[in-house]
Amino acid sequence: MTMRLCVFCGSSSGSKPIYVEMATCLGKALAENGIGLVYGGASVGLMGAVADAVLANGGEVIGIIPQALQEKEIAHQGLTDLRVVRSMHERKALMAELSDGFIAMPGGIGTLEELFEVWTWGQLGYHAKPCALFNVEGFYNGLATFLDNLVEEAFVKSNHREMLIVEDDVARLLTAIDRYEAPVLTKWIKSSE
Protein backbone atom coordinates (compact mmCIF):
# COMPACT_ATOMS: atom_id res chain seq x y z
CA MET A 1 0.00 0.00 0.00
CA THR A 2 1.26 3.46 -0.86
CA MET A 3 2.41 5.48 2.10
CA ARG A 4 0.85 8.92 2.15
CA LEU A 5 1.78 11.98 4.16
CA CYS A 6 -0.45 14.96 4.73
CA VAL A 7 1.17 18.37 4.43
CA PHE A 8 -0.46 21.37 6.09
CA CYS A 9 1.01 24.67 4.93
CA GLY A 10 0.22 28.25 4.03
CA SER A 11 -2.24 29.22 1.36
CA SER A 12 0.21 32.17 1.12
CA SER A 13 3.84 31.94 0.07
CA GLY A 14 5.30 33.87 3.00
CA SER A 15 7.81 36.67 2.96
CA LYS A 16 10.96 34.80 1.96
CA PRO A 17 11.73 32.70 -1.15
CA ILE A 18 13.05 29.92 1.13
CA TYR A 19 9.49 28.93 2.06
CA VAL A 20 8.53 28.09 -1.52
CA GLU A 21 11.96 26.54 -2.09
CA MET A 22 11.51 24.20 0.87
CA ALA A 23 7.92 23.35 -0.15
CA THR A 24 9.33 22.35 -3.52
CA CYS A 25 12.13 20.41 -1.86
CA LEU A 26 9.68 18.51 0.37
CA GLY A 27 7.38 17.72 -2.57
CA LYS A 28 10.30 16.40 -4.60
CA ALA A 29 11.51 14.25 -1.69
CA LEU A 30 8.04 12.77 -1.20
CA ALA A 31 7.81 11.79 -4.87
CA GLU A 32 11.35 10.38 -4.92
CA ASN A 33 10.57 8.23 -1.89
CA GLY A 34 7.32 6.95 -3.39
CA ILE A 35 5.28 8.73 -0.72
CA GLY A 36 1.93 10.15 -1.82
CA LEU A 37 0.83 13.66 -0.83
CA VAL A 38 -2.50 14.46 0.80
CA TYR A 39 -3.24 18.16 1.19
CA GLY A 40 -5.91 20.85 1.01
CA GLY A 41 -6.21 20.90 -2.79
CA ALA A 42 -5.27 24.54 -3.42
CA SER A 43 -3.11 25.83 -6.27
CA VAL A 44 -1.98 28.89 -4.33
CA GLY A 45 0.82 29.60 -1.84
CA LEU A 46 2.99 26.88 -0.35
CA MET A 47 0.08 24.49 -0.83
CA GLY A 48 0.34 24.87 -4.60
CA ALA A 49 4.15 24.69 -4.49
CA VAL A 50 4.31 21.37 -2.63
CA ALA A 51 1.67 19.79 -4.88
CA ASP A 52 3.37 21.04 -8.06
CA ALA A 53 6.70 19.59 -6.92
CA VAL A 54 5.23 16.15 -6.19
CA LEU A 55 3.50 16.09 -9.58
CA ALA A 56 6.59 17.37 -11.44
CA ASN A 57 8.54 14.44 -10.00
CA GLY A 58 5.96 11.82 -10.92
CA GLY A 59 4.29 11.45 -7.52
CA GLU A 60 0.67 11.02 -6.44
CA VAL A 61 -1.32 13.94 -5.02
CA ILE A 62 -4.75 13.79 -3.43
CA GLY A 63 -6.31 17.21 -2.79
CA ILE A 64 -9.33 17.71 -0.56
CA ILE A 65 -11.14 21.04 -0.72
CA PRO A 66 -14.48 22.27 0.60
CA GLN A 67 -16.94 23.57 -2.01
CA ALA A 68 -16.97 27.02 -0.44
CA LEU A 69 -13.17 27.37 -0.73
CA GLN A 70 -12.86 26.02 -4.25
CA GLU A 71 -12.73 29.49 -5.81
CA LYS A 72 -10.96 31.31 -3.01
CA GLU A 73 -8.05 28.91 -2.81
CA ILE A 74 -8.31 28.12 -6.54
CA ALA A 75 -8.57 24.34 -6.61
CA HIS A 76 -5.58 22.71 -8.31
CA GLN A 77 -6.70 21.22 -11.63
CA GLY A 78 -3.74 18.91 -12.28
CA LEU A 79 -3.97 16.57 -9.29
CA THR A 80 -4.11 12.79 -9.35
CA ASP A 81 -7.36 13.08 -7.40
CA LEU A 82 -9.29 16.20 -6.33
CA ARG A 83 -12.08 15.59 -3.85
CA VAL A 84 -14.59 18.35 -3.27
CA VAL A 85 -16.25 18.00 0.12
CA ARG A 86 -19.06 19.88 1.87
CA SER A 87 -17.30 21.29 4.89
CA MET A 88 -14.01 22.04 6.56
CA HIS A 89 -14.73 19.27 9.06
CA GLU A 90 -15.17 16.76 6.26
CA ARG A 91 -11.95 18.00 4.68
CA LYS A 92 -9.91 17.51 7.83
CA ALA A 93 -11.45 14.13 8.62
CA LEU A 94 -10.70 12.82 5.13
CA MET A 95 -7.16 14.22 5.12
CA ALA A 96 -6.53 12.48 8.45
CA GLU A 97 -8.05 9.20 7.31
CA LEU A 98 -6.09 9.00 4.05
CA SER A 99 -2.71 9.89 5.58
CA ASP A 100 -0.08 7.90 7.47
CA GLY A 101 1.43 11.00 9.06
CA PHE A 102 1.26 14.80 9.15
CA ILE A 103 3.73 17.57 8.43
CA ALA A 104 3.14 21.27 9.07
CA MET A 105 5.27 23.61 6.99
CA PRO A 106 5.25 27.35 7.58
CA GLY A 107 1.73 28.73 7.32
CA GLY A 108 -0.93 30.75 9.03
CA ILE A 109 -3.86 30.13 11.34
CA GLY A 110 -5.35 27.37 9.16
CA THR A 111 -2.06 25.47 9.21
CA LEU A 112 -1.75 25.70 12.99
CA GLU A 113 -5.35 24.65 13.52
CA GLU A 114 -4.94 21.60 11.32
CA LEU A 115 -1.70 20.54 13.02
CA PHE A 116 -3.04 20.98 16.54
CA GLU A 117 -6.17 19.03 15.74
CA VAL A 118 -4.30 15.94 14.51
CA TRP A 119 -1.79 16.21 17.35
CA THR A 120 -4.56 16.31 19.96
CA TRP A 121 -6.13 13.27 18.30
CA GLY A 122 -2.76 11.53 18.67
CA GLN A 123 -2.52 12.61 22.31
CA LEU A 124 -5.92 11.04 22.96
CA GLY A 125 -4.82 7.83 21.27
CA TYR A 126 -7.33 8.14 18.39
CA HIS A 127 -4.45 7.44 16.03
CA ALA A 128 -0.78 6.50 16.31
CA LYS A 129 0.45 8.54 13.32
CA PRO A 130 3.42 10.90 13.50
CA CYS A 131 2.91 14.68 13.61
CA ALA A 132 5.82 16.89 12.58
CA LEU A 133 6.89 20.48 12.16
CA PHE A 134 9.11 21.24 9.18
CA ASN A 135 10.96 24.04 10.90
CA VAL A 136 12.18 25.98 7.86
CA GLU A 137 14.83 28.53 8.96
CA GLY A 138 13.62 28.43 12.55
CA PHE A 139 10.06 29.44 11.59
CA TYR A 140 8.62 27.39 14.45
CA ASN A 141 11.27 28.09 17.12
CA GLY A 142 8.95 30.44 19.01
CA LEU A 143 6.17 27.85 18.99
CA ALA A 144 8.55 25.10 20.16
CA THR A 145 9.61 27.28 23.11
CA PHE A 146 5.99 28.00 23.96
CA LEU A 147 5.19 24.27 23.85
CA ASP A 148 8.07 23.61 26.27
CA ASN A 149 6.48 26.18 28.55
CA LEU A 150 3.24 24.18 28.56
CA VAL A 151 5.21 21.25 29.98
CA GLU A 152 6.98 23.53 32.52
CA GLU A 153 3.61 24.75 33.69
CA ALA A 154 2.28 21.18 33.96
CA PHE A 155 -0.46 21.48 31.35
CA VAL A 156 1.16 19.00 28.96
CA LYS A 157 3.02 15.80 29.80
CA SER A 158 6.55 15.63 28.41
CA ASN A 159 5.85 12.42 26.47
CA HIS A 160 2.99 14.21 24.72
CA ARG A 161 5.24 17.19 23.94
CA GLU A 162 7.86 14.79 22.58
CA MET A 163 5.33 13.28 20.18
CA LEU A 164 5.77 16.32 17.96
CA ILE A 165 8.73 15.86 15.62
CA VAL A 166 10.60 19.10 14.86
CA GLU A 167 13.17 19.04 12.03
CA ASP A 168 14.68 21.69 9.78
CA ASP A 169 15.97 19.32 7.10
CA VAL A 170 13.80 17.31 4.70
CA ALA A 171 15.81 14.07 4.87
CA ARG A 172 15.92 14.11 8.68
CA LEU A 173 12.22 14.97 8.78
CA LEU A 174 11.25 11.96 6.65
CA THR A 175 13.56 9.65 8.61
CA ALA A 176 12.06 10.78 11.94
CA ILE A 177 8.55 10.23 10.56
CA ASP A 178 9.53 6.78 9.35
CA ARG A 179 10.95 5.82 12.77
CA TYR A 180 8.16 7.32 14.85
CA GLU A 181 6.59 5.20 17.53
CA ALA A 182 3.56 6.55 19.34
CA PRO A 183 3.91 6.64 23.13
CA VAL A 184 1.94 4.19 25.20
CA LEU A 185 -0.93 6.28 26.40
CA THR A 186 -2.56 4.26 29.12
CA LYS A 187 -3.18 6.18 32.31
CA TRP A 188 -2.77 9.53 30.58
CA ILE A 189 -5.56 10.97 32.64
CA LYS A 190 -4.98 10.49 36.36
CA SER A 191 -7.67 11.53 38.77
CA SER A 192 -5.02 12.34 41.38
CA GLU A 193 -3.34 14.97 39.18
Residues that bind ligand AMP (CB under 6 A): 10-12, 40, 42, 69, 73, 88, 92, 107-111, 113-114
Kindly tell me which of 11 and 99 has the beta carbon lying closer to ligand AMP: 11
Work out how close the CB of 55 gets to ligand AMP at its nearest, in angstroms, rounded to a whole number.
18
Kindly tell me which of 109 and 154 has the beta carbon lying closer to ligand AMP: 109
CB 30 within 8 A of CB 5: yes
Residues 111-133 as b/e (b if ≥16 CB within 10 A, e otherwise) read beebbebbbebbbeeebebbbbb
Work out how close the CB of 169 gets to ligand AMP at its nearest, in angstroms, rounded to a whole number.
22
Q: In the bound complex, which residue of the shown chain has the CB atom lying closest to ligand AMP?
A: 110
CB 116 within 8 A of CB 143: no
DSSP 5-73: EEEE--SS--SSHHHHHHHHHHHHHHHHTT-EEEE--BSSHHHHHHHHHHHHTT--EEEEEEGGGTTTT
Work out how close the CB of 32 gets to ligand AMP at its nearest, in angstroms, rounded to a whole number.
25
Kindly tell me which of 141 and 175 has the beta carbon lying closer to ligand AMP: 141
Work out how close the CB of 191 gets to ligand AMP at its nearest, in angstroms, rounded to a whole number.
33
Work out how close the CB of 76 gets to ligand AMP at its nearest, in angstroms, rounded to a whole number.
11
Phi then psi dihedrals of residue 187, to 5 deg? 65, 25
Kindly tell me which of 101 and 107 has the beta carbon lying closer to ligand AMP: 107
